[in-house]
Amino acid sequence: MVGVKRDIIWGDWNRQHLTERGSERGFTLEDVEAVLRGDASEVVPIRARDFFLGMVRGRRLTVVAMTSDTEVYPLTAFWADEARWRALRERHRPQP
């Protein structure tokens, strides 16, 4: 999957939320952007959100965002262990 080529929209709310969450959990806004733009990232659409799965510094970071044709608005992010990562990917796998 190719990372998004859309504009990443940072507003006061999402910048503050992700900065606070990242400081608690050990990721940065740059890590979030790396997942959103990463050529190796996968996008898993679940309901009205897209889950971007990408590797940052050897760890699995998941970024949840709302997207349009031209923009992506990051909402939250979290590290995912192998089981959670696999479960997210399985939800997106096409059924035979």
Average pLDDT, the chain: 84
**SS3 per-residue string spanning 33-57:** HHHHHCCCCEEEEECCEEEEEEEEC
The pLDDT score that the predictor gives to residue 1 is: 45
Q: Are 74 and 29 in contact (CB under 8 A)?
A: no
pLDDT digits (tens, 9 = 90+) for 6-44: 789 999 999 999 999 999 999 999 999 988 888 767 787
- Residue extents of the structural domains in the chain: 7-92
60 three-class SS: strand
Residue range 44-53: average pLDDT?
82
Q: Look up the pTM and report it.
A: 0.82
